[in-house]
A = this chain, B = another copy of it.
Amino acid sequence: MATEITTIKQAAFKKKVSIHSIIRRPDGGAGLAGQTVKVGGLVKTGREAGKGAFAFIELDDGSCLDSLQLMIYADVKPLHEVTPTGTRLRVEGVLQVPPQDKQRKQRIELRVLKVLHVGSCDSETYPIPKTELKLEGLRDILHLRPRTDTTFACNWHNLFDDLQLVKVDCKMKISAIARIRDELTHATHTFFYDHKFRLVPTPIITSTDCEGAGEMFQVTTLIHDAEKMEKDGHPKPEEGFKMKAGFLPKKDGKVDYGQDFFARQTFLSVSGQLQLEAYACALDNVYTFGPTFRAEHSHTTRHLAEFWMVEPEMADADLEFMVEKYDKNAIRRLQMVASTNFIRISYTEAIKVLEEAVFKGHKFEKKVEWGIDLASEHERYLTEEKFESPVIVYDYPKGIKAFYMKVNPDNKTVAAMDVLVPRVGELIGGSQREEIYDVIKQRMLELGLPLEPYKWYLDLRRYGTVEHSGFGLGFERMVLFATGMDNIKDVIPFPRYPGRADL
């Protein structure tokens, strides 16, 4: 009884081709003249010509930066239905070489023979302005911004001079950012797959605070439950909240998390690193690539409350191995991002460079001295002014770094490294992890961390410990770096930051 689907609709869409596949050919599409194709997309602009006898339409399907010109006669479809900006069309037609026109760069256009679909656009209320489109304003209409056709200037750093990317697209469009992000994601997965790293989905909801100091979002069903109880006619809110749902507070003034969904207090993960280490101890080379969260009230162009992070973790590896691997292989595969050599400098040397700059008259807001955490102004000086190159700073003072980092033999610094890149600042932070049980436990006590929640993590040192290392790469920052955009809110489709979680 293998029945067939009841209604077989017209299979027109099956031959739909992307605009990219037409106009991004070496001949600009000219070689396809005479072929019948179907395309679909949004009307960027439409203008009538020949006294209303026909119209030219710029159609955009998000497959590339450029649009395809359609030519349609009024007897195929009333022109006012198909020309308004924002209208969605699916059409069939014949590709033809347009008459010579020095102003136009079009080497192919589509003469429309059939209009298969019209999704009209309510022009009067369409919230995308025709002129003066600003990135700030587009952040209020996240659902429509990927279809905007306006390009934005972006700041290509001189690093990119010899890369094709900068020559082809010196301007940026929201849809182009989505495509670049997709390519970078694919390159990231391919790199790790080819190098036999296994992808491990570390948990989003967690009871462990990786950094031991992060501002975390709480995940709960308590408020919801209490609200529902109120709805259901339970005692007045105060009573309901406090007593029935066990929400607020117990006798000692504390929330009773035993009644929460996971029977404990839970948060959104700030990093998958600690859990990843558990898998590195079993599977050697592993990585995670997922969303991470920081409830920090940062109002900068470099921070998001929700961002994606690439975190590899390797057993039997130390920091040098990781850095070398990163340099020689990751960069080779991500040549779209950078083709320059990275400067390597210890933290102590970096401080000397900064002190020298101060001596020569450079002003920093924060005083430069050994032991400080490098501020953005220091990082930018190193990577943008002093070296004009990505810079790897390693061996940081242990006092400013996390508890899990390997203490160096000098007992003053840890085997940590940050990769700083121009305009973006810190792109990557990594370290060798402390594998000696007594040392890491001592470090945790020094920092006043509670041992109980980390018991499982200490177990990894207690039962067959191993030298291992890893790093975290802020994926949106990599996209910033690759696109030349200024604001991180524009390189993720649905940005979350203080006060905003649209859609």
Which residues of A does B touch, CB under 8 Å?
1-9, 11, 13-14, 16, 18, 40-43, 61-63, 86-88, 90, 117, 119-122, 125-127, 141-144, 146-147, 175, 178-179, 181-182, 185-186, 189, 193, 196, 198-208, 215-224, 227, 230, 236-238, 241, 248-249, 253, 255, 261-264, 266, 268, 274-275, 278-279, 281-284, 290-291, 293, 295, 305-306, 308, 315-321, 323, 341, 343-346, 349, 353, 387, 394-395, 435, 456-457, 459-467, 492-494, 496, 498-503
Contacts and interface: CB of A to CB of B under 8 A. Distances in A.
Contact of A147 (B143, B179, B281, B353): B281
A205 B305 contact: yes
Contact of A321 (B4, B13, B88, B315): B13
A293 B205 contact: yes
Contacts of A14: 321
Contact of A344 (B5, B182, B219): B5
B227 A264 contact: no
A395 B461 CA distance: 55
Contacts of A395: 6
B119 A465 contact: yes
B253 A142 contact: no
Nearest to A321: B13
B86 A464 contact: yes
Contacts of A141: 456
A233 B97 CA distance: 77
A494 B461 CA distance: 20
B201 A291 contact: yes
Given A146-B278, A316-B90, A460-B143, A207 B18 contact: no
Nearest to A501: B262
Q: Which of A127, A200, A255, A315 has the most CB of B within 10 A?
A: A315
Given A119-B465, A456-B503, A466-B88, A217 B5 contact: no
Nearest to A199: B182
A146 B280 CA distance: 9
B295 A217 contact: no
A63 to B, nearest CB: 7
A3 B306 contact: no
A328 to B, nearest CB: 12
A147 B253 contact: no
10 contacts: A5-B319, A62-B283, A90-B316, A125-B462, A143-B457, A146-B279, A181-B199, A201-B494, A206-B494, A264-B501
Contacts of A182: 198-200
A463 B126 contact: yes
A200 B493 contact: yes
A424 to B, nearest CB: 19
Which 9 A-B pairs rank lowest in CB-CB distance, beginning with the nearest?
A: A88-B464, A62-B283, A119-B465, A146-B282, A147-B282, A262-B501, A203-B494, A143-B278, A40-B316
Contacts of A283: 61-63, 146, 175, 178-179
A497 B89 CA distance: 45
A13 B316 CA distance: 6
B323 A5 contact: yes
B219 A121 contact: no
Given A63-B283, A181-B199, A218-B220, 11 more contacts: A5-B344, A40-B315, A143-B275, A143-B456, A147-B464, A175-B282, A182-B199, A217-B220, A230-B253, A261-B305, A262-B305
A74 to B, nearest CB: 21
A284 B3 CA distance: 30
B253 A459 contact: no
Nearest to A314: B13
Contacts of A90: 316, 466
